Amino acid sequence: MNDQPHFRETIRRLGAASFAAAVGLDAPLGALTTYRVGGTADVLVTIDSADALVELAEIVSDTGAETLVVGRGSNLLVADSGFHGVAVVLGEPFASIDVDGTRVVAGGAAKLPLVARTSVNEGLTGFEWAVGVPGSVGGAIRMNAGGHGSEVRDTLVSAEVVDLTRGSVSIRRAETLELSYRSSSLQPSDVVTSATFQLAAGDPEIGRSRIAEIVQWRRANQPGGQNAGSVFTNPGGDSAGRLIETAGLKGLRIGSAEISEKHANFIQADEGGSASDILDLMHEVRSRVLQTHGVDLHAETRLVGFGDSHGESQ
């Protein structure tokens, strides 16, 4: 547990907050990720209202506590030593999905597959690609998630963002978010509470057929189990998976972590495994691909709690 004076003050104020019942100390954090490995968070807060989120922002901005927005945990690797700060999870009230004509307004905690299916059932098209992405709307905007030739920036109009360091609430137009391949200008302290997407009128039957095709393709080409999807971003004009596979790394194992035999850009974690094993395997893959192909891969997975010396800033 972080024992710095400013952090003790953070804990004191969280204990007196209106949402104190939703505050957990030394709470499992790695277990909330799709890798299901890694340590605890000094503090884990589940937020169920906009007022509570603003109150939380006031506390952490005053005390300077480090924050982490967890989302669905589908793109995080948490160190075995955990995260020394305040981890934030948006509760069910932030998971709403509302359709108005061809516009969809979804909460930051809304699941992408559910948004995809809801939009299709409402006779809209443009978001089918997201049915195979096991993340949240907020996380998808943060990394400009995409697949099957589409990505978030294709349909995003705006996002409501709370800055935990300042306690400010703003509506950010898509063009101000600097959305590019698997990145945006959103900071770690920014919480996406809702987003508006502009879709197009479509045929529900065609949409449902497209969704079925995407689900079938992903089942055939990507592994299930404990992983966080693509580990490395694709370098320009090539595929990280192809580079890893042709370097002969499919099936490579370090401890409790293994490169998937089904898709080389996926790392599978054993039940009860170690986050350090996954990180070591990432470093080994990066080194061997550089040696074999002369290409320096960069992590798509967000590393939490490892420190800059282990490549957390990549």
For the chain, the maximum distance between any two Cα atoms, rounded to a whole number of angstroms, is: 59
Q: Are 221 and 263 in contact (CB under 8 A)?
A: yes
> Minimal CA–CA distance to 68: which of 193, 183, 164, 170?
164
**Candidate list 182, 183, 239, 312, residue with the active-site label:** 182
Rounded Cα distance between 300 and 254, Å, is 20
In the residue annotation, 261 being an active-site residue is answered as: no
Rounded Cα distance between 100 and 65, Å, is 39
Q: Are 175 and 152 in contact (CB under 8 A)?
A: no
In angstroms, the Cα distances linking 232 to 72, 75, 101, 229 are 19, 11, 37, 9
**Candidate list 122, 151, 258, 300, residue with the active-site label:** 300
Residue whose token pair is 């030394």: 26
Pairing of strands 267-269, 257-259: antiparallel
Q: Are 95 and 111 in contact (CB under 8 A)?
A: yes
Residue whose token pair is 């907050």: 17
Residue 268's φ and ψ, nearest 5 degrees, are -95, 135
Please give the full DSSP string across 120-172, using - where no structure is assigned.
HHTTEES-GGGGG--SBHHHHHHTT-EETTEEGGGTEEEEEEEETTTTEEEEE
> Minimal CA–CA distance to 94: which of 147, 51, 65?
51
In the residue annotation, 178 being an active-site residue is answered as: no
**Candidate list 189, 230, 260, 276, residue with the active-site label:** 230
Q: Within a 10 A sphere around the Cβ of 219, how many other Cβ atoms?
A: 11
In the residue annotation, 300 being an active-site residue is answered as: yes
Active site residues: 182, 230, 300
